[in-house]
Amino acid sequence: MALIVQKYGGSSVADAESIKRVAKRVVDTRRAGHDVVVAVSAMGDTTDELLDLANEVAPIPAPRELDMLLSSGERISMALLAMAIHSMGFEARSFTGSQAGMITDSQHGAARIVDVTPVRLREALDEGAIVIVAGFQGFNRDTRDITTLGRGGSDTTAVALAAALGADVCEIYSDVDGIYTADPRVIPKAQKLDHVSTEEMLELAANGAKVLYIRAVEYARRHGVLIHARSTFSSAEGTYVLGEGMKNPREAEGAVMEEPIVAGVATDFSHAKITVAGVPDVPGKAAEIFKIVARSGANVDMIVQNVSATGRTDISFTVPKADAAAALKSLAAEQNEVGFQNLVHDDQIGKLSVVGAGMRTHSGVSATLFEALSAGGINIEMISTSEIRISVVLRGDDLAEAARTVHTAYGLDGDTDVTVHAGTGR
Ligand code: ASP
Ligand code: MG
């Protein structure tokens, strides 16, 4: 008998029918003899709809009240799920984040979990109940207010519960059936991964893969939680996300796993490129520029600086598209102080990243990437690397074709096309 934490995303509890389907899955797990703790998201697009409502009554809703409002979405689904389970003849009890002991800092809208004290959950489990917890929310002890963890925060709730309760596995259910070598909507020959390491998953998520939230994976890595990402709509096994030294449960069952050098190819259209042209090539200019950009609140991803022949140089960097306007405005305001010649904004770029822990120990991984791109006649505008990732910035129009070529070059193509359900990973 195991303790299993299950998380169901918004698309899995979108209506009464879906909630009953989830109830059945939870009860099946209970029938198999396991203790079950469930974290739920708000039904369907509830969170977005509540946000729209808030914006209709106030241009800038008060953060405290916004959290009161948004946290109500998960209360609806938790209570309905408990009722659905009752009607199948099983005992279930729902808890809000604060009842569940989800203690956070006081940052409304982006609170971080600082402690989990699941006393009431333990009591309920000891009494034989299935435990249901509202995802995405917590409680701050100083302000005594309800907080939310940021969009997609229910993944983090589930992982934090799994850590605090010492669960055997944290199953994250959504409308996609695992982690793929690439986004199947871009690369139909993508294959489902049997497993991926937490560090690979973090790089994939940070570079455009949307199935799991970065914060949840970070939490899992820090606390040694085993994640199993799988689909609510099928009984197929999904993908295990393994922390350091963690044993793949399927290997324990006797399966032999080959370790690929490259785990996957991620694509990202969400960034824009800013070029600061004609910067005086003297010490301190990069510091000035990136201090200005940081003050604008923009989060810089890649940076390149060209060589200077003329005593002036160009510095290009990428930021999320949503941050570009603020960064440009701040830079323009200090053009004279910095002494650059002009600014260029380019939001037609795409980023392709190849991720794999095997890069540490294998040579030639980057050569394969560059050869594939060159054979496809695709121009590279920027390059950056980490220990287990190589990213290139390309024309946005080239990104899908480039990703397919590169996916093939690393031998990641499956035999058949994936049937893509309109999954969002939520
Ligand atoms: N309901 C919240 C959101 O839509 C939290 C979640 O789904 O994980 O962001
Ligand atoms: Mg949601």
DSSP labels for 356-376? -GGGGT-SSHHHHHHHHHHHT
Window from 83-97, 271-285, 407-421 with minimum mean pLDDT: 407-421
pLDDT above 60: residue 422: no
pLDDT above 60: residue 123: yes
Mean predicted lDDT score pLDDT of the chain: 95
pLDDT above 70: residue 397: yes
Close Cβ partners of 177 (under 8 Å, ≥ 6 residues apart): 192, 230, 231, 233, 234, 236, 238
Q: Is 97 close to ligand 1, i.e. is its CB under 6 Å away?
A: no
Phi, psi of 238 (to 5 degrees): -105, -135
How much of the chain, in percent, has pLDDT values that exceed 70? 98
pLDDT one-digit tens code per residue, 311-331: 999 999 999 999 999 999 999
Helix (H, G, I), strand (E, B) or coil at 421: coil
Q: Residue ranges per domain, the chain?
A: 3-250
Rounded Cα gap, residues 368 and 23, in angstroms: 47
pLDDT band at 144 (very low <50, low <70, confident <90, very high): very high
> Which residue has the least CA distance to atom 5 on ligand 1?
152
- What ranges make up the beta strands (E) of 105-238? 113-116, 130-134, 137-139, 146-148, 169-174, 195-197, 227-231
How much is the pLDDT for 197? 96
pLDDT band at 420 (very low <50, low <70, confident <90, very high): low
How much is the pLDDT for 161? 98
Region 35-58: what's the mean pLDDT?
Answer: 98
Close Cβ partners of 128 (under 8 Å, ≥ 6 residues apart): 91
Helix (H) or strand (E) segment spanning residue 26: helix 16-31
Phi, psi of 9 (to 5 degrees): -75, 170
Rounded Cα gap, residues 146 and 98, in angstroms: 7
Strand 195-197 and strand 239-242: the pairing is: parallel
Rounded Cα gap, residues 72 and 50, in angstroms: 9
Q: What does the angle CA 279 – CA 273 – CA 388 come to, to the nearest 5 degrees?
A: 105
Q: Can you count the helices (H) and strands (E) in the chain?
A: 13, 20
The domain defined by 3-250 carries CATH number 3.40.50.2000: no
Rounded Cα gap, residues 394 and 199, in angstroms: 25
How much is the pLDDT for 209? 85
Q: How far apart are the first and last CA of the chain?
A: 29
How much is the pLDDT for 19? 98
Q: Ligand 1 centre and the CA of 38: distance in Å?
A: 15
pLDDT one-digit tens code per residue, 211-259: 889 999 999 999 999 999 999 999 899 999 999 989 898 887 777 777 7
Q: Is 238 close to ligand 1, i.e. is its CB under 6 Å away?
A: no
Q: Which one-letter amino acid corresponds to residue 106?
A: S
Burial of 339 (0-12, 13-18, 19+ CB in 10 A): middle
Region 366-379: what's the mean pLDDT?
Answer: 96
How much is the pLDDT for 60? 94
| C-alpha distances in Å from residue 132, one per residue of 45, 93, 128, 154, 251 | 20, 6, 13, 12, 31
Q: Ligand 1 centre and the CA of 10: distance in Å?
A: 7
Q: Is 10 close to ligand 1, i.e. is its CB under 6 Å away?
A: yes
Distance of CA 75 to the CA centre of its chain: 23
Burial of 332 (0-12, 13-18, 19+ CB in 10 A): exposed
C-alpha closest to that of 141 among 111, 184, 183, 171: 111
How much is the pLDDT for 165? 98
Q: Is 152 close to ligand 1, i.e. is its CB under 6 Å away?
A: yes
Rounded Cα gap, residues 414 and 189, in angstroms: 5
> Which residue has the least CA distance to atom 9 on ligand 1?
151
Region 24-47: what's the mean pLDDT?
Answer: 98
Question: Can you say whether the dihedral through the CA atoms of 218, 73, 79, 122 is positive or negative?
Answer: positive
pTM, whole model, 2 decimals? 0.91
pLDDT above 80: residue 74: yes
Region 28-34: what's the mean pLDDT?
Answer: 97
Token reading at 295: 């003050």
| For ligand 1, mutation pick of 67, 212, 426 (most atoms within 8 Å of CB) | 426
pLDDT one-digit tens code per residue, 178-215: 999 999 889 999 999 999 999 999 999 999 888 889 99
